[in-house]
Amino acid sequence: MKHSNKSHLLTILAILCMGVALSASRLRLPAFTQSATPAQAQAAPAAPDVSDDPADAQRSVSLQTDKMEYARGEGNIFNNQFMQDAHDRGVMLQLTARGRNSGLSTQAAFGNPSANLDQWANLTSQLAWVNGNLGASKAKYFEGDSIPYRLRFDNLPSGPHTVTIEWDTTKSSKHALDYITTFDRTPALPGGSLPNPCLGVSNCGSLQAYGPANAIPTDTQVTDAGVTPIPGNFAIYGGAITGFILYSYPTGTGFTGDKSARLAITFTANQANPVLAWGGHISTRQVAPDGWGVGNSCVAIPGSPYHTRLIALDGSGGNQDRSLSADAVIFRGSITINKSCSDTLASFGFTATPSPLSGFNVGCGGTKAFSDIDVFQKYDITETTIPSGWTLAAGTAASCTATSGNGGGATAITSGGSEIGVEIDMKEGENWTCTFTNIAPTPTPTNTPTQTPTQTPTQTPTQTPTNTPTNTPTNTPTNTPTNTPTNTPTNTPTNTPTNTPTNTPTNTPTNTPTNTPTNTPTNTPTNTPTPTPGCVNTNQAIIANDTATISGGSGTVTFNLYSPSDSTCSGTPAFTQQRNTLNGTATTTNCQPNYVGGSGYLDPCTISTAEGTWRWQVIYSDGFSTVTGSCGHESFVINNDNSCPTPVPTPTIPGELRSRQTR
């Protein structure tokens, strides 16, 4: 039979009919280009082209024909070599038929609804959606970040659809991707950019506005475990989310062993190629409700624990699995330095290298923390500025501990046989804490209270005039002349050899004789007895001030003075003042004289009068740490003594009478 253009066209039409039949039966064939060949000249299938996207793989399929030439309506085309794979759903069929002699050809494309799962490669050298797995060469994510994912749909009829996704929640009982979030909640790396779900999509549709319809539903399995997910939304372009078929757990509930979670999303397609995007949250070691705690997150999971899958589109389809390897996720570490020393306002200077560590000052009881360290190497922390007389106690390196240990260690740095710091060999994810303990020979600061009596000029007993004896001696001789002392009394008693009357005359002169010695206490006697020390007739009143000297630093000092009724310095201070240090010294200004007004005192002004012990307490702050001194490290005492007893002066006998008595 002669070859004819007619027979070749029949062959082409038959092949096209076969393609239509295959499409109608929803047989998912890969793309192929193959001419019709005789049954005896069957070609071997070509090896598949390995690429990131299975849907783009080009494979050849051999066709068998029962004869070389066909008349109208005769002949059959069949294939018995194609084996369907799970990822073949949604591929486009491109069928080409070509006449052997005429060279004429025709093509036909056949497609099924499809979806392809991509994840974002966020390194600045990449910044692309990858339809495959990610490693450290393409991505760098941190603990607590969200990995962006997208689904690219194609050939979707307008109307409702359902897509089901799945992610691994635990691996070996360690939490991996614990819940899902908005796709772009994680900031871009320096120099990078946030993912765009429409990147590389032709005629990408508009974004459905975020709202209740596309809000990610809460996974009660997570919240019941005490963790609160970060709220988020699904993003859909060229469609609208209409609802969710809530979570299911194909490998069982709970978090023991290897577990996964699924969520089905219902949506309406407004065009043939809508795009759906979301994020997978990397679990953290933070305590609940932010994380799962140390030892429960994925920091210790090796391999590729971060898996997300496309399970089905409209109830059918193969499993598309995308993984992110562990080396593409960084678990940051931290170094915390604590300062332990006796009650003092001293400040200690440190050097800390290399970056991101840097030098710092810290006082007793203070803390310096370096967090979010993502470069894992050796770090040196050395105490370099120490107040005079202080020493660093041995054992600082031994005090260092690490949570989430990953093989790191700490060793002492010494100088002249003495320990001066610590070197930390940090490994990924380790959180180190070291305590530097210092000892001082004498306490600091030196606080010099200045108690100024407010009544210095007036503390002379105010009752001096009233100390005049009111009990003028009643044993004054009754023979004291009433006129002049030159007249010898004529009634000198004869029964008093000592010239001292044995009885007190009732006619004691009420007026002191004119020759009474001038030191007779008629007003303020000049021989008024001086009060015995410790005997004060007026209460004390003290203006108290304090001075604090800061060793090795500067900052702000708060001075608090507590009355005797507050022995623990826990109540409201009677006096308080905050002062900045000047050349390492701060001094209160309680009751400064009013030089401008000429009298009185300036505010603040507190005068201490209550009897008992008054106590100072100082609080120092340098902006990094706050140190509180002990209660009563400086104090003073007020004693309000009882009134002095009234003195009894010894009478003085005028000289003339004395001479007569001795005759």
One domain, residues 434 and 287: no
One domain, residues 319 and 352: no
> Higher confidence at residue 328 or residue 61?
328
One domain, residues 304 and 193: yes
> Do 546 and 345 meet the contact criterion of CB atoms below 8 Å apart?
no
Residue 520 has pLDDT above 50, yes or no: no
One domain, residues 170 and 314: yes
Q: What is the pLDDT of residue 603?
A: 75
Q: What is the pLDDT of residue 538?
A: 56
- 172 domain residue, yes or no: yes
Please compute the mean of the pLDDT values over residues 422-432 and round it to a whole number: 93
- 446 domain residue, yes or no: no
Reported as a single tens digit per residue, the pLDDT across 312-354 is: 999 887 689 999 888 889 999 999 999 998 766 778 999 999 9
5 sits in which H/E element: helix 5-24
Q: How many helices (H) and strands (E) does the chain have?
A: 4, 38
List all residues 6 or more positions away from 99 whose beta carbon is below 8 Å from its beta carbon: 5, 8, 9, 11, 12, 105
Which of 313, 330, 347 lies at the terminal end of a domain, its last residue? 330
- 659 domain residue, yes or no: no
Closest among 342, 375, 374, 379 to 359, alpha carbons compared:
379
What SS3 class is residue 225?
coil
One domain, residues 260 and 352: no
Determine the Cα–Cα distance for residues 434 and 421; give it in Å rounded to an integer: 10
One domain, residues 83 and 123: no
Determine the Cα–Cα distance for residues 237 and 277; give it in Å rounded to an integer: 9
Determine the Cα–Cα distance for residues 235 and 197; give it in Å rounded to an integer: 9
Determine the Cα–Cα distance for residues 329 and 308; give it in Å rounded to an integer: 15
User: Considering only 61-70, 96-105, 402-411, 648-657, which range has the smallest mean pLDDT?
Assistant: 648-657
> Do 567 and 521 meet the contact criterion of CB atoms below 8 Å apart?
no
> Higher confidence at residue 2 or residue 569?
569
List all residues 6 or more positions away from 83 whose beta carbon is below 8 Å from its beta carbon: none
What does pTM read for this prediction?
0.53
- 491 domain residue, yes or no: no
User: Considering only 82-86, 164-168, 570-574, 596-600, which range has the smallest mean pLDDT?
Assistant: 82-86
List all residues 6 or more positions away from 132 whose beta carbon is below 8 Å from its beta carbon: 52, 53, 322
Task: Report the residue count for the chain.
Answer: 663
Q: Which two tokens stand for residue 374?
A: 């993502």
Residue 582 has pLDDT above 60, yes or no: yes
Which of 266, 296, 330 lies at the terminal end of a domain, its last residue? 330
Determine the Cα–Cα distance for residues 510 and 637; give it in Å rounded to an integer: 48
Residue 115 to residues 90, 155, 243, 275: CA-CA distances in angstroms?
A: 7, 9, 19, 9
Q: What is the pLDDT of residue 76?
A: 52
What SS3 class is residue 605?
coil
16 pLDDT band (50/70/90 cuts)? very low
Which of 314, 330, 346 lies at the terminal end of a domain, its last residue? 330
**β 259-269/159-171 pair status:** antiparallel
Amino acid at site 500? T
Q: Which domain holds residue 617?
A: 542-638
Residue 593 has pLDDT above 70, yes or no: yes
User: Considering only 38-52, 450-464, 612-626, which range has the smallest mean pLDDT?
Assistant: 38-52
One domain, residues 378 and 254: no
In the chain, % of residues over pLDDT 90 = 41
- 88 domain residue, yes or no: yes
- 238 domain residue, yes or no: yes
List all residues 6 or more positions away from 333 whose beta carbon is below 8 Å from its beta carbon: 373, 374, 376, 404, 426, 427, 428, 429, 430, 431, 432
Number of domains in the chain: 4
Q: What is the pLDDT of residue 248?
A: 95
- 520 domain residue, yes or no: no
Determine the Cα–Cα distance for residues 538 and 141; give it in Å rounded to an integer: 78
One domain, residues 47 and 195: no
One domain, residues 28 and 159: no
Measure CA 377 to chain center.
Answer: 23
CATH number, domain at 372? 2.60.40.10
Beta bridge partners of 555: none
> Higher confidence at residue 620 or residue 45?
620
- 531 domain residue, yes or no: no
In the chain, % of residues over pLDDT 70 = 62
Closest among 260, 185, 183, 182 to 221, alpha carbons compared:
260
Residue 112 to residues 154, 156, 159, 205: CA-CA distances in angstroms?
A: 8, 8, 15, 20
Residue 34 has pLDDT above 70, yes or no: no
Reported as a single tens digit per residue, the pLDDT across 365-412 is: 899 999 999 999 999 999 998 888 888 888 888 889 998 888 999 999
Residue 69 has pLDDT above 90, yes or no: no
CATH number, domain at 547? 2.60.40
Please compute the mean of the pLDDT values over residues 66-74 and round it to a whole number: 56
One domain, residues 61 and 143: no
One domain, residues 132 and 222: yes
What SS3 class is residue 327?
helix
Q: How many CA atoms lie within 13 A of 432 on its CB side?
A: 31
Q: Which two tokens stand for residue 588?
A: 């209160």
Determine the Cα–Cα distance for residues 378 and 360; give it in Å rounded to an integer: 18
Please compute the mean of the pLDDT values over residues 205-232 and round it to a whole number: 96
One domain, residues 220 and 325: yes
